[in-house]
A and B are shown apart, each in its own frame.
Chain A
């Protein structure tokens, strides 16, 4: 077991994990972050996408130990502390960009990252940018519309940061101990496989 410290949606968690534990399993099974889901076992579907150190990763392709010392944002930490939706969440709702909603957490997180990199994407850039996230319900058309809407909202307001990172933890969530330097990971970070974006 390896001791890791990961800040998820603004809350710091210190845990012992098996070296083989995937980040998504750590999030779901140890931290109760079940808003992030697993849709495949080959890193094709993107349902498990979260932000790690501000960049989107498929959390089934990251070992929990790779997240040691880093900040992770899941779909559960995207809304503001008062419950106000992130522009991408709001746009998905307004544009009917989800049906069953299973791919939605990953799709939203991938879209947040896409817009951080490209605040004013074209249709084609959105479609290529979200290529790693599968949706079986919508045919993607309304997702593309939603991402355009969110881009416009974010450009107008200038707040692309996930609220939980900017504002601290959601109310009512347990507070972790003050941040201390975490233990070194057992394997040098560069020796680990790179997370698939």
Chain B
């Protein structure tokens, strides 16, 4: 990159263009699929065309005779070594947790489940040879819908488990003491609103298909994977396959998006690992997009039944939520816990006095579900923001006014919520005021009234969405209390090289978030070094052995904290060396503007930089007695609380009542994510997040037929929006620093997705209130909108 920029006063807060871009815009990238190793073979996977069937025979012998085929095997061939794919979040003690073999052995339970593999000299030979594998299936009855799966006498996905209901998890504020009992509060209600909302199934659709390369030839077996979680993968690969952890190295090289979709330990990873060990050669598997859509985990797929009790003045008395969450055919890595991440968020930014949440996880003959951008929190925010609009209509208030009457005022923080969390900070008034002003709220309401009055065939709708979310996953004790199988800390190491250049090793694992840039900005300020002199290393357990990776808007909130602590330790270690070089007492020194100087000395006085100290350490000729010859420092940070970004999103839609077509006319996002390291990156996260939320509202849905065939199995049928489908948005911020974070940051990765879906659907419903429409099932396609206008057919 040859761009010169003026050096900002502080790096933190500057819109630094990204370091990552240099390789990404020139094609010098290290995607897993780009890796080629000496003697490398290619693996292809035969997947089940049946949603539920007994496997009575698998014969791979003919495939073995195909040209170039080195190995072919089925689930039965590896049954004793393949283990079971892990679920790290058994949310209740009695949760049903069926075996999940990477390769099906006796039975397949969803279309796309892996049944057999071929390993060959090249990919075409491997794929061709799949056709020679013979599999006999004995079809079994199929269940794809949750209500059917829970009905009396339902077909069982796992016959030996006796039920399709995997678990029921309950939170009740009356029982925990965080609030009143809903029974008490509902008794006083003047208004009770009941609604069912359906969170359609979505597909994360990261642009880079997942890929895995395994090299079994070294002493440490190396696995490159397009994953968000190299550290968790290493740990669980050891647990699942019995390979000692120190004999496994995991690398996540450049990873092309994840959105939760690569927060998984996949059957493909285990199968490729086993295959490479069997043939003793490097093996690569890269999924096709169709393979990805059918076998990589899906997201959302919940049925939400809500009851909201309120007084006539719009004050909410209580909320009851009954949730069904489709797990698919097996338990994904964190799937059972996804609805729980929503459980703490239904009360949102409001001061509800009572709250009860009950969730059941349900098995069906469909692809597994798991985390997708926001994971539980978008679902919760959608439901509460939709029903708050219904309350506004019921009591005759503007939707913003009904929110005002219930939200936590800025002077009330820290605030203990009815869901048992402590919100540390926020200013909902400021964000909402700013959003309304940017949006021209009052003017648009006047236009809406005029167009209603005139009977305009294209009606204007205004959608409001106020949200908060829990980010910075997560305090380890809280995770432990929720029966999650790991902690929530993060790690950082700062290595000071002899010439004063810095290497940062982070336990976070970016896949588009720009950590290399943002982490460099933080270190530049902390150590007084140049932005360009910092190299950020990540995603390879050989350099970064310790970390919990990237998801849940945690990297900066938790990993950034660890990084600051590591930098502080570097400065602490450098201080006695600087004092020695300056021939003064340690207690007389301060570190300011990138140099140690005697306290009170002018800023141009001679000082010693970190680079001066690192060179002194490298030579080690003249270190003070007892001082170790290194400035390197490591820190691990476990957050005491979540962080709570919030914001107000406003959407104006034009809805053509004759065709059902919806156009987003304007969209304003005001987000408060605390202090911002790089506003350009934050804005990019909001843009992309809002786009994915709009996609749920308007475009995307994974659809199964009754036999369990995925009807949306390619990008022809499952349609992530293109540039022509999406509007420009206005993105702005308010800034309420996180009080307990050294950088004041909160997290931004999921905010846009969480806020935007209800903003859009509220706007569509708002446009159609005069037509008696009070809900439209997502995605709000022209057909669904048109049908709703015709007669309140909500589905």
Contact = CB atoms under 8 A, between A and B. Distances in A.
Contact of A99 (B22, B288, B684, B720): B684
A76 B207 contact: no
B317 to A, nearest CB: 38
Contact of B207 (A108, A128, A130, A136): A136
Contacts of A18: 124
B20 A139 contact: no
Contact of B27 (A38, A40, A74, A143): A74
B1 A93 contact: yes
Interface string B678-719: 001101100111111000000000000000000000111000
Nearest to B680: A96
A93 B18 contact: yes
Interface in A117-137: 123, 126-128, 130-137
B720 A134 contact: yes
A13 interface: no
B773 to A, nearest CB: 28
A138 B24 contact: no
A141 interface: yes
A83 B722 CA distance: 31
B512 interface: yes
Nearest to B287: A41
B715 A139 contact: no
A94 B680 CA distance: 10
A89 B26 contact: yes
Contact of B687 (A84, A104, A141): A141
Contacts, number: 175
B355 interface: no
B728 A100 contact: no
A73 to B, nearest CB: 11
Contact of B723 (A28, A83, A100, A130): A130
B2 A101 contact: no
A41 B714 contact: yes
A148 to B, nearest CB: 12
Given A137-B512, A140-B726, A34 B25 contact: no
A144 B25 contact: no
B259 interface: yes
B261 to A, nearest CB: 10
Interface stretch (B29-37, B99-107, B143-151, B155-163): B29-37
Interface in A73-115: 74-76, 78-79, 83-85, 89-90, 92-94, 96, 98-105, 108
Given A75-B27, A101-B20, A103-B207, A144 B254 contact: no
Contacts of B720: 134, 136
A132 B513 CA distance: 24
Contacts of A39: 207-209, 289
B512 A40 contact: no
Contacts of A92: 21, 25
Nearest to B685: A99
Given A40-B714, A99-B514, A102-B207, A140 B24 contact: no
A126 B723 contact: yes
A47 interface: yes
B727 to A, nearest CB: 9
B723 A140 contact: yes
A42 interface: yes
Given A102-B31, A131-B723, A45 B25 contact: no
Contacts of A104: 24-25
Nearest to B259: A136
A140 B724 CA distance: 9
Nearest to A75: B27
Interface residues of B, number: 56
B684 A142 contact: yes
A141 B27 CA distance: 22
Interface string B282-301: 00000011100000000000
Contacts of A42: 289-290, 714-716
B427 to A, nearest CB: 26
A142 B514 CA distance: 15
A19 interface: no
A93 B692 contact: no
Contact of A40 (B690, B715, B722, B724): B715
B194 interface: no
A32 B207 CA distance: 21
Contacts of B681: 96
A47 B206 CA distance: 12
A36 interface: yes
B403 interface: no
A185 interface: no
Contacts of A108: 25
A6 interface: no
Contacts of B110: none
Given A34-B34, A45-B207, A139-B688, A99 B513 contact: yes
A93 B25 contact: yes
B692 A136 contact: yes
Nearest to A37: B31
Contacts of A130: 722-724
Contacts of B3: 90, 93-94
A76 B716 CA distance: 29
B794 interface: no
B126 interface: no
Contacts of A131: 722-724
A179 B663 CA distance: 53
A75 B25 contact: yes
Contacts of B25: 75, 85, 89, 92-93, 98, 101, 104, 108
Contacts of B208: 37, 39, 100, 102
Given A39-B207, A44-B715, A141-B729, A101 B21 contact: yes
A160 interface: no
Contacts of A96: 17-18, 680-681, 683-684
B467 to A, nearest CB: 18
Nearest to B513: A99
A101 B30 CA distance: 11
Q: What 3 A-B pairs have minimum CB-CB distances, sorted nearest first?
A: A35-B27, A101-B24, A102-B256
20 contacts: A18-B124, A33-B27, A35-B29, A41-B289, A79-B26, A93-B18, A96-B680, A98-B25, A99-B257, A100-B255, A101-B20, A102-B208, A123-B728, A128-B724, A130-B724, A135-B723, A136-B259, A137-B512, A139-B688, A140-B726
Interface of A: 18, 20, 28, 33-42, 44-45, 47, 74-76, 78-79, 83-85, 89-90, 92-94, 96, 98-105, 108, 123, 126-128, 130-144
Interface of B: 1-3, 17-18, 20-29, 31, 33-34, 124, 205-209, 254-257, 259, 288-290, 511-514, 680-681, 683-684, 687-692, 714-716, 720, 722-724, 726, 728-729
Given A37-B31, A75-B26, 18 more contacts: A36-B27, A38-B209, A40-B714, A45-B207, A75-B27, A90-B3, A93-B18, A96-B684, A99-B257, A108-B25, A128-B723, A131-B722, A133-B723, A135-B723, A139-B689, A139-B690, A139-B729, A143-B723
